[in-house]
Structure 1
Amino acid sequence: MKKTTLKDIATHFGVSISTVSKAINDSHEISSELKLKIQDFAQEVHYRPNHIALSLLKKSTKTIGVIVPNILNYFFTQVFYGIEQKANSRGYGIISCISDESLQKERQTVDLLSSGTVDGIIMSLSEETQAKKDLTHLQDLIENQIPMVMFDRVTDQLDCDKIVVDDFEAGYKTTKYLVETGCKKIAVISSISNSSVGKLRVAGYQKALKEANITFEDRLLVKVGKKDDLQVLIALLIANNDVDGIIALDEITAVDTLNILKLKGVQVPDEIAVVGFTNGRLSKYVSPSLTMVSQHGKYIGELAADILIDRIEHDGLMPFTTKTVKTTLITRESTKNIP
């Protein structure tokens, strides 16, 4: 069935295409009688506007592209939700993409979104992008004046709006809290060791250890790759029976760590306390419930959408801004109380 066009409607009424367009868009320039007739007819023939053509005409798609490294991380799910809520309230849709921690996939996604599909992009860098420091695809975005807001995993090498979580302070505060509850051998389990946020959290952890006169040990920093068996790594970690605290740098790893410790008969928190990052639903309902670091993902998403849309609608005349979001430690049953 042939799709009805503005030209078809214009021919039917013996008027110009411009008149039909104005009538459908409820312009005051067209008489109410003719406007109603055209609108009724357009509905009758199931006319649908060509959004691609309209976006080319207006040089606007009213759409935002969002690229995250890992959708299984509840933090990024929260950010997605915040972006969508804020964007929708301001009349924008979103296209959601996942880089899966891959530089190549991130590059392909950026190329797709920057080809006129969206008005701007909100993104967090993949781990591989940060490890290889290859930012040519993002430099092209900036040179082509496509607005971009980076969040969480950002780089100082690009001039754009940024929202960062104070990950150094988060690692520091979390470690300090465990020390204050009596922990003396605190391990970190990281599945994001090559990312900026992973490195900052470890740096904060090391600072807190130093302040407490606790020697940092390499064996207590456990880096988990995609092909590694977490159960084996934890078995090796606790083999000496001296580890009394574990910080997992993402929620799924924290939940898995808790379950593995329970399977091995370890009493949490009496023998080993556990803290995770990202305060998602899983952490509330496991037993014992997990102490977690909340990064306020929904708020970050709302803030990112607001900053990007403001820049889109003000033609990029605003100075670039970097916002820092503080974390909150939410204490539950997986850690002891401070004496």
Structure 2
Amino acid sequence: MKPKITLKQIAKDLGLSVSTVSKALSDSHEIGTVTKNRVQEYAKLQNYKPNTMAKNLKNQRTNTIGVIIPNILNPFFAKVFSGIEKAANAKGYNVITYISNESHSKEKQAMDLLSNGTVDGFILSVAEESQTKNVSSHFKEILREGMPIVMFDRTMDDVSCDKVIVDDFESSMEAVKHLIKLGSKKIALLSCIDNLSVGKHRALGYERALQDYNRSVADHLVIKTDSEEDFDSRLKKLLASGEVDGILALDEHSSTMAMKLAIQKGIIIPEELCIIGFADGVWSRRLTPSLSTISQHGPEIGAEAAKLLMEKLERKVDIHSYKTIVVKTELRQRDSTRKL
């Protein structure tokens, strides 16, 4: 293998100082056009690659962002990541991704590993186990070390950092009100994410919408659990009662099972049952009938999170000031709801 050419070798070959070569390759205004072109053309001819690691050590920056997501199979997180990567790459940042698989220990392990000079900061959505156990010490430790964190979607109230969220409460409330306007009288709430902050906020939005229409919350129409097996069993009984004519499903599993079990029982959608889900992956458009959903605009969330972190890294804002950006959701009406 041909050895890589160095700055020192280029300088020797061209009869220039290492400093002049370095500045010419950095397109510095201190170097004349003729010399700059000569150096750059020769470096290109010799396939010169800069020593990024050495440069980063000198600048005390890696220009790399660590992204930790809970679940790679969730289409929402994939969309958020695409937004992060696009925004980061446009500003010259690299992205390293780690999957926590909803585990607190894996989440902590990732932060310990990447904070050791590998990344400049983190963008993350909190793992289910960390939220359930209300453990945030690993986030606070990273922040004390001076490394910025931006949380998105799932956040922790006791951690002072930048956050990007959606209007979970308001969007859930508006979805229920839409079902009421469609004529639904008995609206069920389905959730397999009752142990997560987003699930709790969405459930509160459901309750508030009913209150605004002077309707009481019927406990037998509410299924909130973190067990999919328990959920499926309870949903079968609920649909068998024939009482429900509207459903707000707060996550992918509850949305999918509501459609599947309703169709199996011969319930006609949307004439007899209107369903709105709280996810917007490709599957929601491909279901038959297609599922009306609350879109969370994942790519926009990712772009906003990346922007907040890069502003901190580039010292464009006070590193000790924090903001929370709320991204508005959108109700996308498809075949599982009647038209107004």
Q: TM-score, normalised by structure 2?
A: 0.88
Q: Which residue of 2 aligns with 1:336?
A: 338
Q: Which residue of 2 aligns with 1:320?
A: 322
Where does 1:238-249 land on structure 2 (aligned, <5 Å)? Answer: 238-249=239-250
Q: Which amino acid aligns with 1:221?
A: I
Q: For residues 3 and 225 of structure 1, what CA distance do their matches in structure 2 show?
A: 56
Residues 73 and 250, structure 1, Cα contact 8 Å, conserved in 2: no
Q: Which amino acid aligns with 1:154?
A: T
Q: For residues 125 and 159 of structure 1, what CA distance do their matches in structure 2 show?
A: 14
Q: Which residue of 2 aligns with 1:287?
A: 288
Q: Deviation string for 1:126-155 (max 9, x for gaps)?
A: 111111111111111110111221121112
- Mean CA deviation greater in 117-126 or 91-100: 91-100
Residues 206 and 216, structure 1, Cα contact 8 Å, conserved in 2: no
Q: For residues 142 and 5 of structure 1, what CA distance do their matches in structure 2 show?
A: 37
Q: Which residue of 2 aligns with 1:189?
A: 190
Instruction: Let me know the Cα RMSD of the aligned residues.
Output: 2.5
SS of the counterpart of 2:68? strand
Kindly tell me: are residues 230 and 196 of structure 1, through their superposed partners in 2, closer, same or farther at Cα, counting changes over 3 Å? closer
Q: Which residue of 1 aligns with 2:310?
A: 309
Q: Which amino acid aligns with 2:299?
A: K
Where does 1:26-45 land on structure 2 (aligned, <5 Å)? Answer: 26-45=27-46
Within the alignment, does 1:77 sit opposite 2:78 as a pair?
yes
Q: Which amino acid aligns with 2:222?
A: L
Where does 1:1-339 land on structure 2 (aligned, <5 Å)? Answer: 1=1, 2-13=3-14, 15-211=16-212, 212-217=214-219, 220-225=222-227, 228=229, 231-251=232-252, 253-314=254-315, 317=318, 319-338=321-340
**Cα distance, 1:315 vs structure 2:** 6.1
- Mean CA deviation greater in 257-266 or 152-161: 257-266
Q: Deviation string for 1:86-112 (max 9, x for gaps)?
A: 222222222222222111111112222
Q: For residues 159 and 198 of structure 2, what CA distance do their matches in structure 1 show?
A: 17
Q: TM-score, normalised by structure 1?
A: 0.89
Kindly tell me: are residues 63 and 218 of structure 1, through their superposed partners in 2, closer, same or farther at Cα, counting changes over 3 Å? farther
Q: Deviation string for 1:196-247 (max 9, x for gaps)?
A: 0001111111222344323331563142536x38654432332222222222
Kindly tell me: are residues 64 and 89 of structure 1, through their superposed partners in 2, closer, same or farther at Cα, counting changes over 3 Å? same
Kindly tell me: are residues 116 and 274 of structure 1, through their superposed partners in 2, closer, same or farther at Cα, counting changes over 3 Å? same
- Mean CA deviation greater in 109-118 or 19-28: 19-28
Q: For residues 112 and 104 of structure 2, what CA distance do their matches in structure 1 show?
A: 12
Percent identity at matched positions?
44
Residues 189 and 221, structure 2, Cα contact 8 Å, conserved in 1: no
Q: Deviation string for 1:309-333 (max 9, x for gaps)?
A: 1121126526311222232222222
Q: Which amino acid aligns with 1:282?
A: W
- Mean CA deviation greater in 131-140 or 308-317: 308-317
Q: For residues 167 and 151 of structure 1, what CA distance do their matches in structure 2 show?
A: 12
Q: For residues 42 and 276 of structure 2, what CA distance do their matches in structure 1 show?
A: 62
Q: Which amino acid aligns with 2:72?
A: I
Q: Which amino acid aligns with 1:55?
A: N
**Cα distance, 1:252 vs structure 2:** 5.2
SS of the counterpart of 1:238? helix
Q: How many residues align?
A: 337
Q: For residues 161 and 179 of structure 2, what CA distance do their matches in structure 1 show?
A: 37
**Cα distance, 1:305 vs structure 2:** 1.6
Q: For residues 103 and 218 of structure 1, what CA distance do their matches in structure 2 show?
A: 33
